[in-house]
Structure 1
Amino acid sequence: MEEPRNKIPARMERGESRVEDLHLDRIVASQPEIGPTPPDGGYGWLIVVSAVMYHITVPALLSMYGLIILKAIREEDHDENERMKIWDVDIALVPVIAVIIRLLLESWCRAVVKIFNMPRFMALAGLCLTVAGVLLSSYSTDSESNDHIINIFSGIFTGAGCALTGQQTEIIITHYFREKLTMAQRLVRMAPSVGNCLVPILIGYLCTIYTGDVVVMIYGAIIMQNCVFLASYSRPIYIERVIRHTYNMLRDAVEDEDEVIFSNQNRPGGSSSQGQTNPPVGPSQNTTQDEDGADAVVFSTRKNAKEILDPAIQHRENQLASNADLQRRFSNDFSTLHDVTSNRFSSDFGSLDVTSYARVNGYQELENIDSRNPQPLYRETTVNAPQGSVVFADEVSPGTARRTASLKKNFITITNMLLDINFYLYALLHLCTTFSILVLGVLFPPLIWEQNPSMNISSVSTLIAVAHGSALCFIMLCVVLPKSINEKARLCAAFCVAGAMGFYGIAFSEKKSLFVVWCMLASFATAASSILQQPLYNSTLNDFDTTATMTTSNTIVAIFIMAWSLLYNYDYRTCFLTASGLQTVTACMFFALSFRRRR
């Protein structure tokens, strides 16, 4: 009576071990929902720290160029009531072109990062491009230097490097986090606000000691120190062990030149009923046949492929055709269609007499074929195929079919995306945020000095740091917001209203204390909108493709900034009024659409 009781724990232990063996992390699948699970921490936090350090220094390039523009303007003689414009100093081309190039190349860089799957190399390559652009711009820091070629190439290098490293950072964070992904992304998006608080103090101090070109080269050397942090970018262990080796093995088995295709044939005892022996095969084929006795290798290589049939089938084939016919049975020459037995695999039925059954050996044709209107075996599948006629479709390679299907899928995706209001909301918020960050970083320092000519560069940089530092206290509250914000539209509208007030106040304020308040509102609004931009972006991906959404929205923003910058040489106050108008329009749109019925 006690033996069954003693067996129960043993069975439970065996059951528990089976449950552990069936853990989903040990299943290799193409879908992440049933595949390996990210660790959600551990080494991933080092990746987040490295990404934060990068985003502290590199996005602050806009503030650095703003102070360099201020230093170049102060070296010239200006009238007291003269209104300065954005293209008075040629180095302003660098940050504007860098932002445009980054927007245009982000989707391409994302595709490159996914294809090559080398995070450390891609991140360091982007960093080198960024440093090269910054160092190249040091040759045009003076107000008298108007070398447009140097500034354009400097902006291209800087923008391309920022796009490559930025996309690699976003992708590698998703490899290490799933449950805590939102927290990690918000920490990285908050890092530029920290840089806007610290970098102006450093640049303001350097501008009081060195010339503009030396300051730019020193800051380029500071950015280069990110190579220590970006060197920590590496794929997680579960991707290295499971995805890399197992998926490569499966891919090589399909794409390798020596391809093995199996054919199920009954071979009892390894020999045929006629007593014939199996044809000789290679060692790899013998191994395959030993593993599965019901399979025989049909093709062992793509080049000079030979068919290896079962002896019984081979004996029947020898009875049906001669040796010369066997050599031509896979021929594509349609000139010998008068002899059906010599080329019975032909797909041209133009001269086939369906009523002549004696000319067909080894097959039984359908007897209900209408001889007056014979139907072909292969018919064109498109809607443009003429009815009642023999139409033969050209053979389509797998690559062509795959590319055609991909183009059709992308066309349908873009069409559906352009008909959805969520995409336009995301594009509008993206435009408002990007333009506001550009204007606040590059044009705010010279505007402060224009309104208060008695201030020096050190005092201007201190005022900027205090304003961004005050905004940082409120930006940190956005990190603890819940993942799914039910009232995202109204919350974004509230932030945009604060941003509109801040940019409008900057355009018409002349007191230092008010400058701090208005800059704090503008900085808080842009940073908070950038953080809330991620959940709105994720909501658009429920129905649309990532590449389509990113490419289309970035193109819209890049075209707007390019057209705006080339249309007219605006003064600084007009630029801030434009940013205020964009913030107001965005707030009105989000508030109006917050009353719609949720899908």
Structure 2
Amino acid sequence: MEAQRNINVNLAERGDRIEDLHLDRVVASQPEIGPTPPDGGYGWLIVFSAAMYHITVPTVLSLYGLIILKAIREEDHDEGEVLKLWDMDIALVPVIMVIIRLLLESWCRAMVKIFNMPRFIALSGLCLTVAGVLLSSYSTNAYSNDHIVNIFSGIFAGIGCALTGQQTDIIITHYFREKLTMAQRIVRMAPSVGNCLVPILVGYLCTMYTGDVVVMIYGAIMMQNCLFLAAYTRPLYIEKVIRTTYNMLRDAAEDEDEVIFSNQRQTETQNQVQTNPTEATTDPAHDDDNTDVVVFKSRKDAKEILDPSVELRENRSSQEARFSSDFSTMFTDAPANRFSSDFGALDVNSYSRISGYRELTSIEQEVPNPQPLYRETTINAPQNSLIFSAEVTPGTARRTASLKKNFITVVNMLQDLNFYLYTLLHLCTTFSILVLGVVFPPLIWEQNPSMNIWSVSTLIAVAHGAALCFIMLCVVLPKSINQKARLCAAFCACGALGFYGITLTEQNKSFLVVWCMFASFSTAASNILEQPLYNSTLNEFDTTATMTTANVVVAVSIMIWSLAYNYEYRTCFFIASLLQISTACVFLASSFRRRRQ
């Protein structure tokens, strides 16, 4: 019984000790040690709100694909005519939206971190996106093409998507740590759900209303996301634990009086003065500045406290003119005071009269252009010349350190294999999503002119729904999938097969569904695998540099592709298949090389 009681006491003490060492009670300057996110609770509401946003907003590409199809059908086309990308000017909206979103993601991420207002930034981005979509309703048919309207529509929508998307990515990391991977995968899988629902909704609206009305209705549907984005708020542990704890520490530091000594020998000096005051009096004054101590008790009613030996030395030397300001004997035969600073009658271009250590400033004479208060001596200066020290200001030092840090980051990034893998996968995934959303609906109608808009939208929904059954498996896969290069190569090879199969199939609807299923599954799985490659960089600064550079490369590539030529619809899918097979080969080759984890 006694042993059992001791065990219970030890367990209780151990439990108290563990509870006291809980990270919520630790305040540190490093982010690795600090309050623990709840990994659930209100965070799941954040994930649900983010998923609802990604169901309706990123799938706006499918909206414009069906609107382009509706505009093509309303315009007279000859049988067998080959359709091209820029036949409808409204195709500018989704292309510019993707480009602007890529270019502004890094700036929006910095803005999100600086302002720390999740609800305001998320709702602002949503309003900009809805404004861009509503503005594009003025150019929905073949007879009202307006380049200016479409360009500004794409810009507004791209800015809004970048703001809300980056706010969503950051706020999820505030609520999850252990389950962060699963939460991110759920959010990234949401667009696949939207690809199943949005085509059915838009296809039905297109059979009932004109193109401009359909776009305005969908904009109103997107605006309902404000009910979900209003749930974005900072976690309570950030508000109560971190801020309260640091405020308490700061207040405590301000109230306590601090005594700081500049030299450990100060204690020895005090003891010597107290034990033998006469010896300290007869002893010559100490000229060592290391023993000078000036201590202030507190910020309020500050009073200078001098060490007895220092006070004795100051009283003794007060009778001597240590810092003379008599400037009359500077150029006499008498030895000059080495601390004198009368240079009113001195020609600054002539230094033959200066000898030894002297200052070069006069602050007591009124001259039109006064000299600086202090300048370097000319003891070692060449004759008839002036030497100034290369003083570095704090601002210059910070800028120099920032440039060095940026240079080191760029060098490390360019030497990292993960950067190239992430950039290539990002380009392949973004281009594939753009082509599959915007170009696929009119291509189906081109290959099957007998189909109407409702049948085309149904075929697209069925294909994406079949792919969703496989995409859901990516959520439950373990974290070890993150670093499997061969698995990513298999997904890209599957996508290459799907995109190339779409270019070959003409009138067989079943094969179109199968090929679209492969293409949709590949793009969604690759989008999920982008996150581990993005997180595999060294630190936050390297992560930002990697994301910025990769986004710029992808945006410039898509811009060059869109401006280079007016491609046929099949050519777009053929280019996507080439990108997929190239990415698969690169990832397969990298799997045989040891990469930095």
User: For the superposition of Structure 1 and Structure 2, which TM-score range results when normalised by the shorter chain?
Assistant: 0.7 to 0.9
Equivalences for residues 91-170 of structure 1 within 5 A: 91-170=90-169
Shift of 1:421: 2.0
Quick one: which amino acid aligns to residue 513 of structure 1? S
Cα deviation, residue 402, structure 1: 3.1
User: How many Å apart are 1:401 and its aligned residue?
Assistant: 2.8
What is the CA distance between 1:596 and its match in structure 2? 1.7
Q: Which residue of 2 aligns with 1:582?
A: 579
Structure 1 residue 494 and structure 2 residue 493: aligned? no
Deviation, structure 1 residue 88: 1.0
- Provide, for residues 4-63 of structure 1, a one-character-per-residue CA deviation record: whole Å limited to 9, x for no partner: 998997677556434422322211123232111111111111110001000000011000
CA distance in 1, matches of 2:433, 2:492: 13
- Write the deviation string for residues 419-474 of structure 1: whole angstroms up to 9, x where unpaired: 22221111101100000000000010011111111111111110100000000001
Structure 1 residue 143: deviation in Å? 1.2
Computing the radius of gyration over CA atoms, which structure comes out larger, 1 or 2?
2
Deviation at 1:320, TM superposition (A): 3.5
- Assess, with a 3 A threshold, how the Cα gap between structure 1 residues 454 and 262 changes in structure 2: closer, same or farther: farther
Aligned residue for 1:522, secondary structure, equals helix
Change in 2 beyond 3 A, CA 1:580/1:14: closer
Q: Superposition pairs for residues 339-354 of structure 1, below 5 Å? A: 339-340=337-338, 353=356
| CA shift in 2, pair 1:117/1:319, >3 Å | farther
How far did residue 210 of structure 1 move?
A: 1.1
Cross-structure match for 2:551: 554
Mapped pair 1:531 → 2:516: no
Unaligned runs of 5+ in 1: 275-293, 329-337, 344-349, 356-372, 377-388
Q: Which residues in structure 2 correspond to 1:147-296 (within 5 Å)?
A: 147-247=146-246, 263-264=260-261, 296=295
Could you say if the C-alpha distance between residues 200 and 8 of structure 1 is closer, same or farther in structure 2, counting changes exceeding 3 Å? closer
324 and 36 in structure 1: CA distance in 2 versus 1, 3 angstrom threshold: farther
Give the TM-score, by structure 1 length: 0.79
- Per the alignment, in what secondary structure is the counterpart of residue 499 of structure 1? helix
Return the offset for 1:352. 8.7
State the Cα distance separating 1:253 from its structure 2 match.
11
> Which one is further off, 313-322 or 417-426?
313-322
| Deviation (angstroms), 1:484 | 2.0
Counterpart residue type for residue 563 of structure 1: I
CA distance in 2, matches of 1:341, 1:504: 86
Find the aligned partners of 1:583 and 1:482 in 2 and give their Cα distance: 25
Q: Using the alignment, how far apart are the partners of 1:85 and 1:324 within structure 2?
A: 93
Q: Which residue identity does 1:450 align to in structure 2?
A: E
Q: Tell me, in whole angstroms, the C-alpha distance in 1 between the residues paired with 2:517 and 2:73.
A: 25
1:236 Cα shift?
Answer: 1.1
Q: How far apart are 1:406 and its partner, in Å?
A: 2.4
Mapped contact 2:493–2:581 kept (Cα < 8 A): yes
Q: Is 1:476 equivalent to 2:475 in the alignment?
A: no
TM-score, normalised to structure 2, is: 0.80
Q: Is the 8 A contact 1:261 1:300 kept in 2?
A: no
Say if 1:5 and 1:483 are closer, same or farther in 2 by CA, change over 3 A.
closer
In structure 2, what is the Cα distance between the partners aligned to 1:152 and 1:261? 63
Letter matched to residue 434 of structure 2: L
> Is the CA contact (8 Å cut-off) linking 2:496 and 2:580 kept in structure 1?
yes
- CA–CA distance in 2 between the matches of 1:568 and 1:250? 63
Q: Deviations over 1:87-116 (max 9, x none)?
A: 111111110000001001111111111111
Helix, strand or coil for the counterpart of 2:465? helix
State the percentage of identical aligned residues.
72
* Contact kept in structure 2, 1:204 and 1:457, CA below 8 Å: yes
CA 1:340–1:252 in 2, change beyond 3 Å: closer, same or farther? farther
Distance in 1 of aligned mates of 2:126 and 2:184: 20
Q: Output the amino acid matched with 1:163.
A: A
Q: Secondary structure at the match of 2:562?
A: helix
1:485 aligns with 2:481: yes
Structure 2 contact 425–583 (Cα < 8 Å) conserved: yes
Q: CA RMSD in A?
A: 3.7
| 2:75 equivalent in structure 1 | 76
Comparing 310-319 and 55-64, the one that deviates more: 310-319
Give the 5 Å matches for 1:30-41.
30-41=29-40
For residues 53 and 339 of structure 2, what CA distance do their matches in structure 1 show?
72
Q: In structure 2, do the counterparts of structure 1 residues 522 and 239 end up closer, same or farther at CA, with 3 Å as the change threshold?
A: same
Contact 1:123 1:164 in 2 (8 A): yes
Structure 2 segments unaligned to the other structure (5+ residues): 275-292, 326-335, 342-350, 359-377
In the alignment, the residues of structure 2 paired with residue 141 and residue 403 of structure 1 have an alpha-carbon distance, to the nearest angstrom, of 50
What code does the residue aligned with 1:117 have? N
SS of the aligned residue for 1:84 comes to coil
